[in-house]
Structure 1
C-alpha cells in the first residue's frame, strides 16, 4: 500500500484526507511512476470543489489530488516506446500527484534532464507548459509588449520569463507585495484594481500588443480596452468572458514536445521554475492551503520521496 492525499467528496478542505492505496497498474500508453515531487496548482482545489474539465469523465471518489509530478519509472504499460524502468520523468498525472505512486500518460510525459531537479521538474507540466502555450499563441515578435494580468503566480512568472527569452517586453499586474519580485523578472509592475487601464497606459505609453489574462473579471475587461487587435487577447482564467470581448481562451497543446521545450529553457537558464516553498507529503494540506488562499508567490511543490 502507498500513501496518498485525496478528497472523498466535492467540497472544501474538510473533504481532504490521507489514505493508503495500492499502486495503480499502468494501462496501454501509461507509466507507473514513483513520485519524487508533485506541483501544487489552483486547479487542484477547484477539482475538489467540483470543477470538471471539459470533456472529462465524472470524478471517481476518493480522488488523489494533484495534476503534475516528477519521479522514476517503475513499470511500463503496453505499447510504450522511448521509456524504460528507472528513467527520471515528469508530466501530467492521470491518477493524481499527491501520492507515492501515480500514472503518467506518455503523450504528456518527458524525460527529466539531469540538470533539472525533481522538485523543479514537478513545477513545469501545468504552469510552465500553460505559459509556453500562451506566449506562442499570441505570437509576438521581439520588441513587442505583452501585458500579463496576474503575473505573480505560477503561470505568470513562467510566462514573463519565456516572453523575455523571446525578446518580448513584459508589463504585468500583481499586488504591491509582489512588486519587487516581478520587477526582478524584468517585468514593469502595475498595481491591479480600479482605473487599471490608465495605470497600464502610463507604464506602457507605446501601448500593449497582446494580453495574457490569468485573473479574469474586471481586470480582464479593463485590459481588453487597451488592444486594437482583440485576437491578441487570451485568458486562462475567464473562458466565459474572453470570447465576448473578442479574444479566446489559452489553447493547451498538452504534448511531450512542449514539456521538452520547457525543460530546455530551464537548462539554458532562460526559465527558472521559482519554487518558493516545498512541503513533505505529510503536510500536503498546508501546501494546498497556501495556493488556495492566494498567498503563494511562484510555485509550491510537495516533495514525496528521495
Structure 2
C-alpha cells in the first residue's frame, strides 16, 4: 500500500484526506516516480472546490489531488524514456500529491538538473510554463516595459524574472506589503486597484495573471491588444487581448527555466513547506492569495 491525497466530494480543504491506496506500478512506456515534493497551484483547490471546474478538466469523483510533482524514478516499464534513479519533475493532473505517480507517455516529465532541489523542481511545471507562455504571447523583447499584474504570486515570480532576463523593464502590480519582495526580483512595484492606468507610464506590453484589471489598464494606456495577454480571464478576455496558459508554452520552455534555476539566474521563493499530513493547512495558506512565492508539500 501507499499514500495519496484524495477527495470524494467537492468543497474546501476539509474534503482532502490522506489515505492508503493500492501501490501503482509502471507498465509499458511508463515510469513510476517516488514523489518527494508537490508544488501547489490555484487550479488544484479550484478543481477540488467546484464540480463545474472539475468537469472542464475531465476530473471525476473520487479524485486525487495536485498537478506538479518532483521525485526519483523507481520503476521503468519497457520502452520508457527515463531510467530507474533519474531525478525528474513534471505534471500529472489529479495524481501529484501521492507517494507514487505513474507517468504515462502523454504526461509531462522532465529531467531535474543537478543543483535544483526536488522542492524547487516541484514548483516549476504549471507556474513556469504559464509565465513563459504569457510572455511569448505578447512577443516580449529587450527594451520593452511590461506591466505584470498579480506579480507576487506563483506565476508572477517567474514572469517577473523571465521578463528581466529577456531585457525588459518590469512594472509589477501587487499589494504594498509585497513591494520589497518584488524589488528584490528586479521589478518596479505599483499598487493594484482603481486608477492603475494613472499610476504607470510608457508601457509597451502587459501580462495579466489575475483577472482583467491589468489588461484593461494596458488597453487604456494604448497598448495594442496583441501585446496584452491574460491567463485567468477565461477564453474571451476584454478588448481582444490574448488568452493563454501553460499548455501554450513553447517546446523546451520549461527545460530552459530549470536550467536558469540551476545556473542561479532565476530564483524560486518558497513561501512555506508542509508535510503531506498537513495538506489541509497547506491548501488553506495557498488559497488565501497572499502568499509571496510557492507552497510545497513534501512526502
TM-score when scaled to structure 1?
0.90
RMSD: 2.0
Residue in 1 aligned with 2:96?
97
Q: Does 1:159 align with 2:154?
A: no
- 2:281 is aligned, of 275, 278, 286, to 286
Q: Secondary structure at the match of 2:240?
A: coil
Q: Does 1:196 align with 2:230?
A: no
Distance 2:289 2:223 in 1: 32
- 1:232 is aligned, of 227, 234, 248, to 227
Deviations 1:48-102 (A, max 9, x none): 0125478643x23222211100001122245322x10111100011442211111
Q: Identify if the C-alpha distance between structure 1 residues 174 and 75 changes in structure 2 by more than 3 Å, giving closer, same or farther.
A: same
Give the unaligned 5+ runs of structure 2: none
Distance 1:146 1:294 in 2: 22
Distance 1:191 1:71 in 2: 38
Q: Identify if the C-alpha distance between structure 1 residues 255 and 218 changes in structure 2 by more than 3 Å, giving closer, same or farther.
A: closer
Residue in 2 aligned with 1:138?
138
Q: Give the deviation of 1:163 after TM superposition.
A: 0.8
Matches within 5 A, 1:1-306: 1-50=1-50, 51-52=52-53, 56-57=57-58, 59-81=59-81, 83-106=82-105, 108-201=108-201, 207-242=202-237, 244-251=238-245, 252-253=247-248, 257-304=252-299
Q: What number of residue pairs does the alignment pair up? A: 296
Distance 2:265 2:210 in 1: 25
Give the unaligned 5+ runs of structure 1: 202-206
TM-score when scaled to structure 2?
0.92
Q: Work out whether residues 65 and 96 of structure 1, in 8 Å CA contact, stay in contact via their aligned partners in 2.
A: yes
Residue in 2 aligned with 1:204?
none
Q: Work out whether residues 3 and 98 of structure 2, in 8 Å CA contact, stay in contact via their aligned partners in 1.
A: yes
Q: Work out whether residues 6 and 17 of structure 2, in 8 Å CA contact, stay in contact via their aligned partners in 1.
A: yes
Q: Work out whether residues 162 and 270 of structure 1, in 8 Å CA contact, stay in contact via their aligned partners in 2.
A: no
